A and B are shown apart, each in its own frame.
Chain A
Amino acid sequence: MNNFTGLLLAGLVGLLLVSCGKDEQRELPILGIPKITDGDTIPHRIPDFKFTNQDSQIVTNETFENAMYVADFFFTSCPTICPKLTRSMLRIHDYFEGRDDLLFLSHTIDVRRDSIPRLKLYAENIGVTSDRWHFVTGDEDEIYDIAEDYMSIALEDPDAPGGFDHSGWLILVDQNRHIRSFCDGTEDEDVDRLIKDIKLLMDE
């Protein structure tokens, strides 16, 4: 074996050790583009918001002050990915049953049709009776704007099925309003990964 192959082998073994070790004690990063002001790096935070939920209660950042939460964007008459997203949210919700430190926030992007009674009916129809899951409506622009802060897309598009276009991410936000993980809500395996990440965040 010449020097080069020896070095290559040592490198490969090293890489293997590093990558294995890393998975054992993984720490969730803070996602999003940080702001740099006066030389200080400020990580991305979810801005202030004020929406209304299916029980006509006001939902703000304070609702989630002592809890982490999973957020998504949907609309009740959505013919494409929403049922699957909602089912994935429901799966996470049921998996962590009784954990009051994990809440759920589903924003409708169809504020004209999805009135409070309609959101209430939707929640009832999928069997959500707990107050851990907020289905919210509010100012249309505020919802579209905050979608960007969740690294998501939400917009009205007459060409899209159902009239709206949106991404299917489920986004995990911690107590400090930082995005810590996300997954594709239409992919079961990716949702499994998010469940693991939620456990990691609970142990922090």
Chain B
Amino acid sequence: MSKSLQLSVVLMALIIGAFTIFHSSCDFNPHRHGEWLFEMHCANCHMEDGTGLGELIPDLWESPYLQKTTIHEAACLIRHGIKTPDPLDPDLEIYPMPPNYELTESEIANILNYIGNNFGNEAGYINPTKLKEVLSDCPNAEDRQW
């Protein structure tokens, strides 16, 4: 290989490399941690694309529960889940949505920031003070409807 060819190959590689780095910084994802937590704790049921499963698992797209005025309440849902009497056996109680006691307050905030600003939702940023307030005073899991 001639010297000039070698040089142009190296130059080419440098340009491609620089372009890649520049390009990826444009795709900055402000909800990366929330997205990661969502995939770990929620996507098994709500699916990675948030579309859920028929009437069994709610679709998160344009959800009335994930808008500016409602999203903080959703924190209780994530932490305590939903508990209802079994429709086929009233003596039994089932969790249509299981609780997630392992998640910290900031983790719940990150998940809400992710789902509240993706899937066609426009909740804006979670207010941490309000989130704390809501989480410290969650209604009983049994009283929550879905």
Q: Which residues of A contact B (CB under 8 A)?
A: 77, 79-81, 83-84, 86-87, 90, 115, 117-118, 121-122, 124-127
B137 vs chain A, min Cβ distance (A): 27
Determine whether the beta carbon of B45 is less than 8 Å from that of A79.
yes
Q: Are the CB atoms of B44 and A84 closer together than 8 Å?
A: yes
Interface residue count for B (Cβ, 8 Å)? 12
State how many angstroms separate the Cβ of A165 from the closest Cβ of chain B.
Answer: 15
Do B88 and A81 have beta carbons less than 8 Å apart?
no
B47 within 8 A of partner (CB): yes
User: If A81-B44, A117-B88 touch, does A127 touch B55 (CB 8 Å cutoff)?
Assistant: yes
Instruction: Find the residue from B45, B47, B57, B98 having the highest chain A CB count within 10 A.
Output: B45
B88:A83 contact, CB within 8 angstroms: no
**Chain B residues touching A, majority SS:** loop
Contacting pair A115 B56 (CB below 8 A): no
- Find out whether the CB atom of A126 lies under 8 angstroms from the CB atom of B54: yes
* Contact indicator B88/A121 (Cβ below 8 Å): yes
Contact A127 B54, beta carbon cutoff 8 Å: yes
**Contact mask B50-71 → A, CB, 8 Å, 1/0?**
0001111100000000000000
CB pair B47–A87 under 8 Å, yes or no, is: yes
B56 engages A126 (CB within 8 Å):
yes
* A126 and B88 within 8 A (CB): no
CA distance A77 to B56 in the complex (A): 11
Enumerate 20 A-B pairs (CB-CB under 8 Å) in ascending A order. A79-B44, A79-B45, A79-B98, A80-B44, A81-B44, A83-B44, A83-B45, A83-B56, A83-B57, A87-B53, A90-B53, A115-B88, A121-B88, A125-B54, A125-B55, A125-B56, A126-B53, A126-B54, A127-B54, A127-B55
